[in-house]
Chain A
Amino acid sequence: MEIKADMQGGMIYAAMLGYAAVLCTALRYPKQAKALFICSFLLSAAAVVYRWRMAGHLPMQNMFEVFLFLGFCIWPIHLFSRKILCVAPSVLMIIDAVIGLIVLFPAGFVFDHHLQFLPPALQCWLFGPHVAAYMLAYIFMAKAAVWGAGGLVLPSDSRRWGDTAAGSGYRLIAAGFPLLTLGLFLGSVWGKYAWGDWWGWDPKELWSLVCWLIYALYLHVRLVWPGRRSMQHILNVTGFLCIIITLLWVNLSKLFPGLHNYAS
């Protein structure tokens, strides 16, 4: 646990406080909650810009910066989700504030934020878009997994709830899957530039392929067995568990030695 007693930490903790306040107010005072949500977004945006200025490069090169960026993505994706989902805005705000709190926690308390020089391989313009595409996709998939888990643990006879859980999960995956593909694509082009291989069989690469395949499987199961909702929910949640493994386990554990370990 690392408390960041500086400007950077202050911004992160204030944004987290904002998200916590959204949680408390969303159902009763949706207007105030919305204002708080916007404040949290502005604070996390300021934290990203501040880091960018300090580091002198796009802040997506290590785990601290990646989680900081995830926190910044919450509000834009929240707005987008309101357009594509047929769900009450307060419910969406609660889900997104929880996700915001979860992703900012490692940035605020776990990962070291000391500035590092960029190693040569990371000095490629493709690296930023590659990570950004993945991070955006991860937030969509996290939100989809909430509906998937909801569909699994809150089974109901109400057709409306079943439709909402399955439909919302699908739409969020439909938004996230092309981004996941873009992340894989840009990563391959970058790998080709940096290491000479578009695919290196590195554990992190393989886990990201697993995520991609599970969501492809989800899309096909939905077409082949439209009635088997639980199966779809299980794949949705499994896909997200694999994302967590891709994002965290590979970087943090010494289990999978590979090219991507610099990011830890």
Chain B
Amino acid sequence: MNIKRFMNPAILLFLAMFAVLAVCGAFMGASRAQVFFNSALMMIFWCVLTLFLAAGFFAYPLLRKRPALMLIHLGCLGVLVGGMLNSAGAHRLIARWLDRPAWAKGQMLLGPGQSSAEVVLETEGAVGKLPFNVRLEETFVEYYDKPAIGLYFNDGARWAIAAEAGKEIQIPDGRGTVQVGAVYKNFKMKRDNGRMVSYESAEPGINPAYQLIFTPAGGTAETIYVFERLGRMHDIAGRTCRAEYMAPRMIKDYKSTLQIVRDGKVLKQTTIEVNKPLFYGGYHFYQHTFAEDQSGPVSGIMVVSARGIWLVFSGYALVFAGLVMQLGTKLFIKRTNPGDVKGQADGN
């Protein structure tokens, strides 16, 4: 009885304190809040809250007897314990006290064909090691829109055509016709019988380009080469229009095909994308960043430890199930007495 007299207001105090701390955190912004809620002081708060919730099961037989209440409060306990296990602090403690390799989060930067077991951790450039290698097969971006070639006329008019080989197309206002004649992945030119001709080179290198055949109204056809990587070309005297590559801009998804390799054997291969991580060996691998430099694309893979995460999600599921049982049943009973005064008395 006495313990309940102490615990009843303490429950309210804890919930209120937690709410106030969360409001403070909201004003800090995400990164500062993260540091704050992982600080030593807050560690104490999390531990005391967890112990208090656990003590509730001893102090209140109802929490053990009523399945719904048990699920709700066990679930909260699960989320708290799982969350603590999943935190960077817990990983540090495990590494220090149990002398086991443990880290919460890090990044790998891989180009196509590269492989590594090393993960750059968030803390002061430290490096974590995976018990297997991760190899990047390929990485690419998917767009909503398609690449196009823009035609800019000297009088200010503009027109665009899909950047793929196709039929001759009429340009409005009687400006003539245009056609993408050929598409090159690695464009090169050579002299053939005294004439310069374009060809697709098999040598290493990338130089995407498009051959555009532009026929002005009443004029003769002329060939214009448009390069993806060379940016804006200068206007050519006498020409009525300039052509420029228009890269797609509406990104739909970033994807990377990863292989898990151990002792030269590929154990798993999968294509990850934003919202579709790979789970292997206690770690989640996420498509995190994507960049393109001189040597080609570079995929940023975020590696996150899965320690405690299943406990968090099971906890959530228990809370939800318990709430549906506990509160759902109260919705349809004793409807004639909206004050539900007896229900309150029962609760105590």
> What sequence of 0s and 1s flags, for each residue 72-84 of chain A, a beta carbon within 8 Å of any chain B beta carbon?
0000000000011
* Cβ–Cβ < 8 Å partners of B33 in chain A: 201-203, 206
B338 at the interface (CB under 8 A from A): yes
A20 at the interface (CB under 8 A from B): no
Contact: A220 with B15, CB < 8 Å?
yes
Closest to A226 in B: B344
Interface residues of B in 292-323 (CB under 8 A from A): 302, 304, 309, 312-313, 316-317, 319-320, 323
* Cβ–Cβ < 8 Å partners of B232 in chain A: none
Contact: A206 with B25, CB < 8 Å?
yes
Contact: A217 with B320, CB < 8 Å?
no
B97 at the interface (CB under 8 A from A): no
Closest CB in chain B relative to A189 CB, distance in Å: 6
Contact: A185 with B277, CB < 8 Å?
no
Closest to A188 in B: B316
Closest to A126 in B: B275
Contact: B274 with A121, CB < 8 Å?
yes
Give 16 CB contacts A-B under 8 Å: A117-B250, A120-B252, A188-B316, A195-B286, A198-B312, A201-B30, A203-B25, A206-B26, A210-B22, A210-B23, A213-B19, A217-B15, A217-B19, A224-B11, A226-B344, A255-B27
* Cβ–Cβ < 8 Å partners of A123 in chain B: 252-253, 274-275
Contact: B309 with A213, CB < 8 Å?
no
Closest CB in chain B relative to A131 CB, distance in Å: 15
Closest to A166 in B: B339
* Cβ–Cβ < 8 Å partners of A224 in chain B: 8-9, 11-12, 348
* Cβ–Cβ < 8 Å partners of B331 in chain A: 84, 171, 174-175
Closest CB in chain B relative to A211 CB, distance in Å: 9
Interface of A is mostly: helix
Which positions in A face B, CB cutoff 8 Å?
A: 83-87, 117-121, 123-124, 159, 162-164, 166-168, 170-171, 174-175, 177-178, 181-182, 184-185, 188-189, 192-203, 206-207, 209-210, 213-214, 216-217, 220-224, 226, 250, 255-259
* Cβ–Cβ < 8 Å partners of B341 in chain A: 163, 226
Contact: B327 with A178, CB < 8 Å?
yes
Closest CB in chain A relative to B153 CB, distance in Å: 29
| Contact of A86 with B344 at beta-carbon distance under 8 Å, contacts A120-B275, A178-B327 already known | no
Contact: A178 with B324, CB < 8 Å?
yes
Q: Which residue of B26, B344, B347 contacts A256 across the interface (Cβ within 8 Å)?
A: B26
Closest CB in chain B relative to A104 CB, distance in Å: 27
Contact: B347 with A184, CB < 8 Å?
no
Contact: A214 with B19, CB < 8 Å?
yes
* Cβ–Cβ < 8 Å partners of B166 in chain A: none
* Cβ–Cβ < 8 Å partners of B101 in chain A: none
Q: Which residue of B9, B30, B277 contacts A196 across the interface (Cβ within 8 Å)?
A: B277
Closest to B275 in A: A124
Contact: B15 with A188, CB < 8 Å?
no
Contact: B275 with A182, CB < 8 Å?
no
| Contact of A181 with B319 at beta-carbon distance under 8 Å, contacts A83-B332, A84-B332, A171-B330 already known | yes
Interface residues of B in 107-146 (CB under 8 A from A): 144
Contact: B30 with A259, CB < 8 Å?
yes
Closest CB in chain A relative to B19 CB, distance in Å: 4
Contact: B313 with A198, CB < 8 Å?
yes
| Contact of A220 with B144 at beta-carbon distance under 8 Å, contacts A178-B320, A206-B33 already known | no
Closest CB in chain A relative to B17 CB, distance in Å: 9
Contact: A210 with B332, CB < 8 Å?
no
B251 at the interface (CB under 8 A from A): yes
Docked pose: A56 CA to B37 CA in angstroms: 40
Contact: B348 with A226, CB < 8 Å?
yes
Contact: A177 with B323, CB < 8 Å?
yes
* Cβ–Cβ < 8 Å partners of A84 in chain B: 331-332, 335
B276 at the interface (CB under 8 A from A): yes
Contact: B15 with A213, CB < 8 Å?
yes
* Cβ–Cβ < 8 Å partners of B337 in chain A: 86, 163, 167
Closest CB in chain A relative to B217 CB, distance in Å: 36
* Sample of 12 further A-B pairs with CB below 8 A, known A181-B316, A201-B30, A209-B22: A86-B335, A86-B336, A194-B274, A197-B304, A200-B34, A203-B27, A207-B22, A213-B22, A214-B19, A220-B15, A223-B347, A226-B341
